Amino acid sequence: MGAFNRSAIVTVVERRSRLLLLGELPDGHGAQEVYDCLRGLCADLPEVARQTLTWDQGREMAEWVQLEVDADIEVYFCDPHSPWQRPSNEHMNGLLRQYFPKGTDLGLVTRKQLNAVAVEMNGRPRKILGWRTPAEVYADIVATTA
């Protein structure tokens, strides 16, 4: 969420590889805008990486049933006030604060900027991945299941 909770970006983290996908919400972060964004992000994922989506509580996911059908993905919700139930995403959101500090108007962030941040984050080696990058691990996952 951005300044005064008026703007937002969508973060999706593929669990095995920690690959980051970022979605822009230029027209607000209501249920329809979040659905449209997630539908587009999920469409880019192969089936092996598009099995479940874990989300926190919020009205922005009111279209979750339609997302399950259209994106062929199961949606789960965390218990209220339980961010530890989606640790990969919460950790990534913390790392993204390096690029988008609290108070940033995320409505002004362009698709080009989001892409640049995702490329940089997906190119960072991670200890949890044996010092491989999310992009490398994701490429292996896709290659071995194709």
pLDDT of residue 139: 94
pLDDT digits (tens, 9 = 90+) for 100-111: 998 898 988 999
Instruction: Count Cα atoms within 13 angstroms, Cβ side, for 119.
Output: 6
Name the average pLDDT for the chain: 90
pLDDT digits (tens, 9 = 90+) for 17-48: 999 999 999 888 899 999 999 999 998 788 88
Quickly state the pLDDT bin for 136 (edges 50, 70, 90): very high
3-145 is classed CATH 3.30.465.10? no
Q: Is the pLDDT of residue 98 over 70?
A: yes
pLDDT of residue 121: 97
Residue with tokens 């640049």: 116
Which residues 6+ apart lie within 8 Å of 24 measured at CB? 9, 10, 37, 109, 110, 111, 114
The more confidently predicted of residues 56 and 135 is 135
Q: Residue 138 and residue 146: Cα distance in Å, rounded?
A: 12
Quickly state the pLDDT bin for 122 (edges 50, 70, 90): very high
Which residues 6+ apart lie within 8 Å of 3 measured at CB? 103, 104, 105, 106
Q: What is the pTM of this model?
A: 0.89
Q: Residue 71 and residue 28: Cα distance in Å, rounded?
A: 21
pLDDT digits (tens, 9 = 90+) for 42-86: 987 888 888 888 888 788 999 999 999 999 999 999 998 888 888
Q: Is the pLDDT of residue 146 over 70?
A: no
Q: Is the pLDDT of residue 9 over 70?
A: yes
